[in-house]
Amino acid sequence: MLGLLIELVINWMLLWVVCKKNLAVLGIMPSMKRFTNLFIGFLIAAVCCTIYYLSFTVFAGNSWVFNKGFSIHSMAGSAWWTLRSVLFEELIFRAALLYIAIQKLGTKTACIISAVAFGVYHWFSQGAFGNPVQMIFLFGMTAIWGFMFAIAFSTTKSLYLPIGLHFGWNLISTVVFSQGPLGNQLLISSGGQKLGEALSVVFFLFQVFSVPLIIYWYLNRFSIKKERYAGKIF
């Protein structure tokens, strides 16, 4: 919690020194509109993530077994850990630095830089640096999602939608389907076989593009012009 408070202070200092703005420009003050975006982002990401992992049961023949040692207390602790990690990354990549970059460089350039930085960051956070194949696939996935998060922020002028998207996928993946650094959580995969090359490509493409495409449609369909930076969504 202390780390998040320190991040907020650093964000405030950057905004004040560079732009003479305060944290309000990050859209952190609650409103019904922002809570709606938070919920919609969470729901879209959570549903797509659930479809992704349950599809392995259909195509790979694995099954999911409930972890008998996993309690409500464990769920709460894991969910809080996941939320903290999401907030930590959002306050780095989609807060003051992205806002300042948008003001100085324009929305498109700023979002691309943010996406590249997000992709490179995951080489180190996921321990992929030094493995070229893993680096390529990890960068492709995280940079595209980073671009989506950046566009969500720049369009809504708020951190709520990117936080909802980020938390929705990470919570389901890490806490429900045990695919993350926390180890075995609610459900544990059992059995199954390796996917063929064609299916592996399909699954990878779904993982990378399903949520960004839905969000692209959502932002173009439902975003309010008053909450946009100059220019249309591209």
Which residue, chain included where needed, has tokens 């959580």? 185
| H/E stretch holding 151 | helix 132-156
Q: What is the pLDDT of residues 169-208, one digit of tens each?
A: 999 999 999 998 999 999 998 877 777 788 888 999 999 9
Q: Which two tokens stand for residue 201?
A: 């490509």
Q: What's the pLDDT score for residue 20?
A: 93
Burial of 20 (0-12, 13-18, 19+ CB in 10 A): exposed
Query: How many whole angstroms separate alpha carbon 96 and alpha carbon 30?
Result: 18
pLDDT at 100 over 50: yes
pLDDT at 141 over 80: yes
CB 144 within 8 A of CB 163: no
Q: What angle do CA 167, 109, 233 make, to 5 degrees?
A: 65
- Measured CA to CA, the distance from residue 90 to residue 87 in angstroms comes to 5
First to last CA, the chain: 36
Angle between helices 2-19 and 96-105 in degrees, nearest 10:
20
pLDDT at 91: 95
Residue 153: pLDDT band with limits 50, 70, 90: very high
Q: What pLDDT is recorded for position 223? A: 57
Average pLDDT of the chain to the nearest whole number = 90
* Three-state SS annotation for 50-90: HHHHHHHHHHCCEEEEECCCCCHHHHHHHHHHHHHHHHHHH
pLDDT for the residue numbered 3: 84
Encoding tokens for residue 45?
């990401």
- The answer to whether the beta carbons of residues 163 and 157 sit under 8 Å apart is no
Q: What is the pLDDT of residue 227?
A: 46
Beta strand extents in the chain (DSSP E only): 62-66, 187-191
